Amino acid sequence: MRLAELIGTLSLAADAGTGMPDETGIRVATLAATIGARIDATRSDCASAFYLALLRFIGCTADSEAAAALFGDEVAFGSETQGVDYGNAREVMPAVLRHVRKGKGVLGGALAMARAFGKMMSMANHMREHCEVADLLAARLGFDEGVRAALVQNAERWNGTGMPNKVRGEKIAFPMRIAQVAYDAELGHRFGGADGIRARVTKLRGTSLDPAIADKVITVADDLATVLGVPSAWTALLDAEPTPHREVTSEALDEAIATMAVFADLKSKYTRSHSSAVANLAAATARSLGLRPEIVDDVRRAGLLHDLGRVAVSAGIWDKVAPLTDIEREKIRMHTYVGERVLARAPGLARVAEIACLAHERLDGSGYHRRLSAAQCSTAARILAVADVYSALLEERPHRAAFTPTEAAAEVGRMAETGALCPDAARAVLATTGHAPPKVDRVAGLTDREVEVLRLLTRGLTNKEIASALDISAKTAGHHVQHIFEKLRVTTRAAAATCAMRHGITA
């Protein structure tokens, strides 16, 4: 499997998670490679620009909770503000205020705007979270330090007013500068073809964008519009990938799929490591039933990818304590459709995708999104569905406490009796589960207490809440958090949670 297919799939998920139109990332990558060639960039820089364009937003789930608190629906906000220059306060502030006051009346709208204005002050820290998480995920995907260093400059601007470090001019990595221009060229094309490219790039030349690269793009805008005006953006992406094409080994594929799971599970503080728990349980069950090794691998990978589409739904819905509205429930039910659509592009993921998108189907036809019957659900899909239910029940949710293993087993048994879950799969999954505590990986020299603190931090608890849970002072909790940051070599809570999920240190 080619790396471009794999990272292209992740890019499609990032589009969904940020509210960008479908195929934005892959179109930008195609342009980045094309622009690199036009400005006589080295093959290495062209390749880096190509992959950076696909990777730029893989940290977008890092602060979904905070973004939802600010914007209400962070995905809808991203969709509604396409074209806004986020580095220009005169453009972004009115867009934010218009969005947050929508549907709230005069008084409610004023209060919402006041709250939003206060929270806007923390945007630089949120961008730092994006960057750190993107760096950690890119490392797991096998990218070198050069690409990763460029990736954390995603939101920097040529004039030094970007975030999080206000890097200026040529100190921004050359491949990232190419990717930045490609992004705005794609946006301009979407709004106005070749003329739109010229207008958008001219507007941002010298502020957000490298003027030299911008000038070249302006002169070849007609050619770039032709590059984008093709029937299949996916085919164009694969054709544009600089040679030699990078291939992914089976081992690297497993690591990449696990990385996608982290990307999805970061969407909500209630789902940290959910996908890996489902994957491990489903694979162990499939193995215990004597299924072929390749099917066991497919089931495990499907477990990791089964909730990839959840990034398209606002964290405000996933984390909502009050009862969901009918519209909110429908959005949740559609996340499997988004996941199926994202995974469908890469032929190398076809078998896995067919299982993954059935995780929420039920044998009595009450599941989603296809509402399949029992005859249409394979053994692998039945195992995955039970593993997903059992694992989710053991996890806390905003509207309920976590079930005990005994309670979760009873609920799985009840659903099997009523025909929602396969009785054979339910028996096999429950036979596989045990009550022993999970093995903890003492990564980076963390102490037992630091592991406890990290678990609670991963669940989104504040220092004060961690202190209360562990019966320690808030100051002591803060010291533990700082020691954890130092040992994990991160500076944000989202990045620490990403490391915890990587090593199985979760609640």
One domain for residues 342 and 200: no
* Whole-number Å distance between alpha carbons of 333 and 358: 12
Give residue 439's pLDDT.
47
CATH of the domain at 141: 1.10.3210.10
One domain for residues 57 and 139: yes
pLDDT tens track for 357-400? 999 999 999 999 999 988 899 999 999 999 999 999 999 999 99
pLDDT band at 66 (very low <50, low <70, confident <90, very high): confident
One domain for residues 271 and 235: no
Q: What is the mean pLDDT of residues 450-476?
A: 91
Domain end among 432, 458, 477: 432
Give residue 437's pLDDT.
39
Neighbours of 136 (CB within 10 A): 26
Within a domain: 174 = yes
Within a domain: 115 = no
User: Mean pLDDT score of the chain, rounded to an integer?
Assistant: 92
- From first CA to last CA, the distance across the chain in angstroms is 34
Helix (H/G/I), strand (E/B), else coil: 247: strand
Within a domain: 39 = yes
pLDDT band at 1 (very low <50, low <70, confident <90, very high): very high
Within a domain: 362 = yes
One domain for residues 352 and 425: yes
pLDDT tens track for 83-114? 888 888 788 778 877 877 777 777 777 777 77
Within a domain: 209 = yes
Does the structure show a pLDDT above 50 at 436? no
pLDDT band at 507 (very low <50, low <70, confident <90, very high): low
One domain for residues 426 and 454: no
Give residue 506's pLDDT.
67
One domain for residues 335 and 427: yes
pLDDT band at 210 (very low <50, low <70, confident <90, very high): very high
Residue among 281, 293, 501, 318 nearest 399 (CA) = 318
216 vs 99, residue with greater confidence: 216
Structural domain including 462 reads 443-502
Domain end among 386, 408, 432: 432
Q: What is the mean pLDDT of residues 156-173?
A: 95
Within a domain: 507 = no
Q: Over the Cα atoms of the chain, what is R_g?
A: 23
One domain for residues 49 and 197: yes
Cβ pair 461, 469 in contact under 8 A: yes
One domain for residues 401 and 323: yes
Give residue 451's pLDDT.
87
CATH of the domain at 473: 1.10.10.10
Residue among 412, 432, 431 nearest 422 (CA) = 412
Give residue 118's pLDDT.
64
What is the SS3 assignment for 394-459? CCCECCECCCCHHHHHHHHHHHHHCCCCCHHHHHHHHHHCCCCCCCCCCHHHCCHHHHHHHHHHHC
Burial degree of 344 (CB within 10 A; 0-12, 13-18, 19+): middle
* Whole-number Å distance between alpha carbons of 141 and 164: 23
Query: For the chain, what is the domain count?
Result: 3
Does the structure show a pLDDT above 90 at 261? yes
One domain for residues 400 and 264: yes
Residue among 10, 441, 75 nearest 258 (CA) = 10
One domain for residues 334 and 456: no
User: pLDDT exceeding 70 applies to what percent of the chain?
Assistant: 96
One domain for residues 20 and 131: yes
Within a domain: 154 = yes
One domain for residues 319 and 180: no
Helix (H/G/I), strand (E/B), else coil: 291: coil
pLDDT band at 72 (very low <50, low <70, confident <90, very high): confident
Domain end among 371, 399, 432: 432
Within a domain: 114 = no
pLDDT tens track for 120-163? 666 667 788 899 999 999 999 999 999 999 999 999 999 999 99
Give residue 284's pLDDT.
97
Structural element, H or E, at residue 392: helix 379-393
